[in-house]
Amino acid sequence: MEYKVFNPDYLVNITDGDAATMEEIVGIFRSQIPEFITEMNNLFGSGKYYELGLLAHKAKGSVTVMGMEQTAVMLKEFELNAKAGEQKEKYAGYISKFEEDASTVLAEIDDYLSKKV
């Protein structure tokens, strides 16, 4: 499988390739994703753009661990725009792209980890 979103290098580096530690970190990430998506939609819907920017920043940290470089760059842009309350017309697209990338990366991670066991 070719990975479009997931780059395992960072995860392997911070875990020294230990499969159990990778599984633990991935489990935390997996539990965070639905929370991030729900909260992003709630904050967007209620017009709490600064808080949305803070959440984008937090999500950026999580996706960085999974080697999601392009997603991290997008979330940084989202963070800066939301904190400033600028380019609001892009927010729904940012959230949708984050949701799409998260779904893709989870499948890619599962594939990667299945080969490590």
Q: Can you give the CATH number for the domain in which 107 is found?
A: 1.20.120
Give the model confidence (pLDDT) of 50-94 as tens digits. Answer: 999 999 999 999 999 999 999 999 999 999 999 999 999 999 999
Per-residue pLDDT tens over the stretch 6-55? 999 999 999 999 989 999 999 999 999 999 999 999 999 999 999 999 99
DSSP type of residue 88:
G
Q: Is residue 76 part of a domain?
A: yes
**Count of domains observed in the chain:** 1
What is the rounded distance in angstroms from the CA atom of residue 111 to the CA atom of residue 49? 35
The separation between CA 108 and the C-alpha centre of its own chain, rounded to angstroms, equals: 13
In a domain, 101, yes or no: yes
Q: What is the DSSP secondary structure assignment for residue 8, as one 8-state letter?
A: T
Degrees, nearest 5: CA angle 63-30-73: 15
Reported pTM: 0.92
Q: Please give the Cα distance from 19 to 45 (Å, whole number).
A: 39
Q: Are 78 and 49 in contact (CB under 8 A)?
A: no
